[in-house]
Amino acid sequence: MSMYLFPFKLKSLGNNALRRKLFIPQIRKFSKYKSACHYSTNENLNKISTKTAENFIPFLQRIDIRRTEARRSIIVQVQSAKSYKELWSYCSTFGAIKSMFHYSVGIDPSHFIIVEFENESIVSSIMNSSNYSEGGSGMPTQSNFMWFKAANNKLKLKDNKNANLSVEFGTDIQLEEEIKVALGNSENVSEQIRKLHELTRLNDVGVRLRFLTALQIENAITGMFPHATAYPFGSSVNGYGKTGCDLDLFLKLSNDKRHDNGRLVFHCKPLNSSERSTTQRHMEVIGDLIHLFLPGCGHVRRILQARVPIIKYHQQLTDVECDVSMSNMSGVHMSDFLYIMGELDDRVRPLVFTIRNWAKTVGITNSAPGRWITNFSLTLLVLAFLQNPPSGKPVIPTLNKLEEQAGKSDKFALEDGTDVSFLRDITKYKQKTKNTDSLERLLMEFFVYYSQFDFDNKAICLNDTVAIAKPEHSAMYIINPLERGLNVSKNVSFEEVLRFKNELKNAAWILESKEPKTANWGLLSIMQGPKVVNMFQKLSTRTKPSRLVEIKSIFDDNENESKSPEKKVKSDQR
């Protein structure tokens, strides 16, 4: 199998993948626990997958549900997954336990169990009854992160028959070999797309860990800022996150509630410099707090000169890479918009996952910042295509249509006054899509659509489906749907746009010509990596190119089938 197939980032796991390859199959075979994937004890959240209006949970309400879930949970480091019975017996002395989830971190794995209680007051009781390490080593901070020490010989706990571990190894990344087998055993490309999404998306345990990570930094500053909130945004919460994805946090220090009849006003420290300089200084202090006081937080990097200053750090106890900002509420509203798009039609997220995996495999996207197309830009390209597919039947609506139906509860504005109002509750959106195309057809049409798109002169717009000329000279112009004066893809170079279009043509040709059920058919055929699928290699003048073909009329029913493919490749398409 090619080393380039399905490029999942293992982060700090290192050789943990090898450990899993040796041991996890046996654990899955004989374990009585539910293994990793996408299990949730929250019935409301599980219902979302049915994609019916009655079961829809608005984005901000969903965030509140998860934040409440985190506040009634703790993370306990244990010796192994087998410790769950003793931990259950001990914790149940404080109150009713709702569920337990096991996960591991590291090469020589450390084991942890998430304990979710029935209410927050039980967590408060546990906090008041917990101790610091003997000998006074370490800063005496309180958080939802603890470890389970050996029992006092005089203290014996009764076995609890209700003890139950819902998930074991809940954060393990699916092995590439397992994914390849699952895709190979699929009936068709559409089924492959859905399986890839199911096997690689962020699961319930991963979401819980990210909200507990957010809660840690939120609790750390609530003494001085009692209304502080750490809002997760981005792929962790919008439904497009894969296993092991980063966590983006927007740290808001105050709430928006005002008491109009209140006559007492808090004294506040006046700001003696520009808003940006003040934000940079505050972020620097937050970075120091994370680095010096919060357990499990390391590798703190301060990126204060960026357009949006951020603090990056790694939470080792949850194995989550975090980006914290204090001036990016637009990211929360953008996550809401992307979440709604994914909830409107159950083809959206699987298609986005597949295209992002393909782009990573062939080198279109890159984990390092630079001239490459980002996953965010790629997601917007997919959504823009689904708003205006070749069939003329939109899969999802434009943002303008959602804005037209916005009610009073949908009114929001950014810090600079930019209006970001749009319909947040899709149960009120009555227009149903008439598009019934399969995922396979949509994937093929995506490749063809953007391989022919005039990136030189046109901009991508999700607010409306009309053609818009690029307002400035750049290789690719994707209008930010919420802050319309910004180009989401400003970083992309002309060379990368050309390479993107070439890879699109290549993928479409392979999917069109590859026979089903042969070796590496369907998605496997286009996710072979640049060593196998290399279309930038200089072609010999004596060899006819067999892959770069004219495919613009693949979906044109009126096209003459006898039309010969284009066989001439320009030298600047290397």
Band (518; pLDDT cuts 50, 70, 90): confident
Token pair belonging to 400: 């303008």
Helix/strand/coil for 377: helix
Question: Does the structure show a pLDDT above 90 at 79?
Answer: yes
Mean pLDDT of the chain: 83
Rounded percentage of the chain residues whose pLDDT exceeds 90: 62
Q: Are 387 and 555 in contact (CB under 8 A)?
A: no
State yes or no: pLDDT of 8 exceeds 50.
no
CA-based nearest residue to 338, from 406, 402, 245, 405: 402
∠ CA(510), CA(511), CA(512), 5° rounding? 90
Q: Which domains, and CATH codes, for the chain?
A: 11-174 (3.30.70.330), 346-396+433-574 (1.10.1410.10), 397-424 (no CATH)
**Range of weakest confidence among 128-132, 331-335, 459-463:** 128-132
Distance, in Å, from the CA atom of 528 to the CA atom of 141, rounded to the nearest integer, reads: 48
Q: Give the separation between CA 384 and CA 400, rounded to whole angstroms.
A: 13
- CB-based contacts of 430, cutoff 8 Å, min separation 6: none
Match 């076995």 to its residue by tokens: 159
Q: Are 179 and 200 in contact (CB under 8 A)?
A: yes
Instruction: Give 199's contacts (C-beta < 8 A, 6+ positions apart).
Output: 37, 174, 178, 179, 182
> Can you read off the two tokens belonging to residue 138?
């370490």
Helix (H) or strand (E) holding 313: strand 310-315
Please report the pLDDT score of residue 155 as a whole number.
60
Quickly state the pLDDT bin for 158 (edges 50, 70, 90).
low
What is the reported pLDDT for 54?
65
The structure tokens 């009073």 sit at 408
**Stretch 164-183: mean pLDDT:** 88
pLDDT above 70 covers a percentage of the chain that reads 80
Residue of 552 and 192 predicted with greater confidence = 192
Is the pLDDT confidence value at 531 over 50? Answer: no
Contact predicate 463/483, CB 8 Å: no
Cα→Cα distances 202→197, 207, 210, 239, 358, Å: 9, 7, 11, 8, 18
| Secondary structure of residue 321 in the 3-state scheme | strand
Which of 146-160, 289-303, 315-329 is predicted least confidently?
A: 146-160
Single-letter code of the amino acid located at 397: P
Q: Which residue has the higher pLDDT, 354 or 532?
A: 354
- The tens digit of pLDDT for each residue in 187-222 reads 999 999 999 999 999 999 999 999 999 999 999 999
| Beta strands 297-303 and 167-168, pairing class | unpaired
151, pLDDT greater than 50: yes
CB 311 within 8 A of CB 287: yes
Q: What is the DSSP letter of 303?
A: E
| Mean of pLDDT values over 549-571 | 42
- Give the per-residue pLDDT at 416: 79
Mean pLDDT of 500-508: 96
Residue 501 confidence (pLDDT) above 50: yes
Per the CB < 8 A criterion, the answer to whether 115 and 91 are in contact is: yes
Residue 350 · residue 197 · CB < 8 Å? yes
CA dist 447 and 441 (Å) reads 10
| Whole-number Å distance between alpha carbons of 191 and 196 | 9
Q: Which residue has the higher pLDDT, 5 or 435?
A: 435
Question: Which segments within 95-158 are labelled E, that is strand?
Answer: 97-105, 110-117, 145-147
pLDDT of res. 50: 39
- Helix (H) / strand (E) element for 523: namely helix 523-526
Number of H helices, E strands in the chain: 17, 13
Least confident of 55-59, 113-117, 352-356: 55-59
Instruction: Decide: 479 and 461 in contact? Cβ < 8 Å.
Output: yes
Backbone angles phi, psi at 530, to 5 degrees: -65, -20
With beta carbons less than 8 A apart as the criterion, state whether 87 and 115 touch. yes
pLDDT at 41 over 80: no
Is pLDDT at 116 greater than 60 in this prediction?
Answer: yes
Query: Does position 533 have pLDDT exceeding 50, yes or no?
Result: no
In the prediction, which pLDDT does 553 show? 46
Q: Say if CB 102 and CB 167 are below 8 A apart.
A: yes
Mean pLDDT calculated for residue range 30-48: 41
Q: Kindly state the average pLDDT of the residues 406-426.
A: 89
Averaged pLDDT for residues 446-457: 96
Closest listed residue to residue 77, CA positions, set 13, 133, 158, 117: 133
Nearest-5° angle of CA 513, CA 515, CA 520?
100
Structure-token pair, residue 352: 């986005």
Task: Work out whether strand 320-325 and strand 247-252 pair parallel, antiparallel, or are unpaired.
Answer: parallel
**Average confidence (pLDDT) over 251-260:** 82
**All residues at 6 or more sequence positions from 123 whose CB lies less than 8 Å from its CB, including other chains:** 71, 72, 73, 74, 117, 144
Q: What is the mean pLDDT of residues 91-104?
A: 95
H helix runs in 255-374, sequence order: 275-293, 329-344, 348-361
Q: In DSSP terms, which residues pair with 530 in a beta bridge?
A: none
pLDDT greater than 90 at residue 147:
yes
Q: How confident is the model at residue 367 (pLDDT cuts 50, 70, 90)?
A: confident
**Angle, in degrees to the nearest 10, between helices 189-200 and 439-451:** 90
What is the Cα–Cα distance from 91 to 113, expressed in whole angstroms? 12
